[in-house]
Structure 1
Amino acid sequence: MLLGLQFSLVSILGGTIPVINDLNASLFHKLKAYQYHLLHAQGVTVPRTLVTSCVDRARAFVRSLDGRVVAKPNTSAAEVVMADESFFAKNGAVIPERPFIFQQFVSGRSYRAYVIGGRIVSAGEFFFDRTYVDWRERIERYEVVELEEETEEQISRAVEILGLGYCAVDFEYDTVTRKYYLLDFNPGGLYMGWSKMAGVDIPALLVDYFLFVLKNGGRIWYDNKA
Structure 2
Amino acid sequence: MSVSTTVLVLTGTFDPTADLVIEELNRRAVPVFRADTAWFPSRLAVAAGLDGPAGWHGELVTGRRVLDPAAVRSVYYRRPTPAEFPPEVPEEARAVAAAEARRGFGGLLAALPARWLPPPGRAAEAESKPLQLRVAAGCGLRVPRTLITNCPDRAREFAERIGGPVVYKPFAPVRWTVGGRSVAVYASLLRPQDVGHPSIATTAHLFQEWVPKAYEVRLTAVGRRLFAAEIHAGSEAARVDWRSDYDSLDYRVCEPPAAVAAAVHRMLEQLGLPYGAFDFVVTPAGEWVFLEVNPNGQYGFVEQATGLPVTAAICDYLEGTDA
TM class by smaller structure: 0.7 to 0.9
Return 5+ residue gaps in structure 2 as ranges. 1-80, 83-97, 175-184
Report the counterpart of residue 309 of structure 2 in structure 1.
201
For 1:184, the aligned partner's letter is E
Identity of aligned residues (%): 26
How does 1:141-156 map onto structure 2 within 5 Å?
141-156=250-265
- How far is the alpha carbon of 1:68 from its aligned partner? 3.2
Report the counterpart of residue 164 of structure 1 in structure 2.
273
Q: Is this contact kept in 1: 2:127–2:294, CA < 8 A?
A: no
For 2:225, the aligned partner's letter is R
Partner Cα distance (1:74, 1:163) in 2: 21
Report the counterpart of residue 179 of structure 1 in structure 2.
287
For 2:123, the aligned partner's letter is S
Kindly indicate whether residue 144 of structure 2 is the aligned counterpart of residue 47 of structure 1.
yes
Partner Cα distance (2:127, 2:206) in 1: 12
With structure 2 as the length reference, what TM-score do the two structures score?
0.58
- How far is the alpha carbon of 1:87 from its aligned partner? 4.9
Q: Helix, strand or coil for the counterpart of 1:175?
A: coil
Kindly indicate whether residue 223 of structure 2 is the aligned counterpart of residue 114 of structure 1.
no
Count, aligned residues: 211
Match of 1:99 among 204, 211, 215: 204
Q: Is this contact kept in 2: 1:62–1:68, CA < 8 A?
A: yes
Match of 2:188 among 62, 81, 92: 81
Report the counterpart of residue 131 of structure 2 in structure 1.
34
Partner Cα distance (1:93, 1:40) in 2: 31
Deviation by residue 1:35-64 (Cα, 9 ceiling, x = unmatched): 212332444322121111111111111111
Runs of 4+ in 1 over 3 A off after TM superposition: 1-12, 41-44, 85-89, 129-132
Q: Helix, strand or coil for the counterpart of 1:196?
A: helix
- How far is the alpha carbon of 1:174 from its aligned partner? 2.4
For 2:112, the aligned partner's letter is T
Report the counterpart of residue 10 of structure 2 in structure 1.
none
Q: Helix, strand or coil for the counterpart of 2:301?
A: helix
Q: Is this contact kept in 1: 2:159–2:165, CA < 8 A?
A: yes
With structure 1 as the length reference, what TM-score do the two structures score?
0.80
Q: Helix, strand or coil for the counterpart of 2:249?
A: strand
For 1:136, the aligned partner's letter is R
- How far is the alpha carbon of 1:161 from its aligned partner? 2.0
Q: Is this contact kept in 1: 2:186–2:244, CA < 8 A?
A: no
Kindly indicate whether residue 163 of structure 2 is the aligned counterpart of residue 66 of structure 1.
yes
- The 3 A distance-change label for structure 1 pair 11 and 163 is farther
Moved more, 189-198 or 50-59: 189-198
Q: Is this contact kept in 2: 1:114–1:169, CA < 8 A?
A: yes
Match of 2:110 among 9, 14, 18: 14
Q: Is this contact kept in 2: 1:44–1:158, CA < 8 A?
A: no
Report the counterpart of residue 219 of structure 1 in structure 2.
none
Partner Cα distance (2:221, 2:103) in 1: 24
Q: Is this contact kept in 1: 2:160–2:192, CA < 8 A?
A: no
Computed over aligned residues only, the root mean square deviation of the Cα atoms, in angstroms, reads 2.8
Moved more, 1-10 or 123-132: 1-10
- The 3 A distance-change label for structure 1 pair 94 and 167 is same
Match of 2:242 among 135, 153, 164: 135
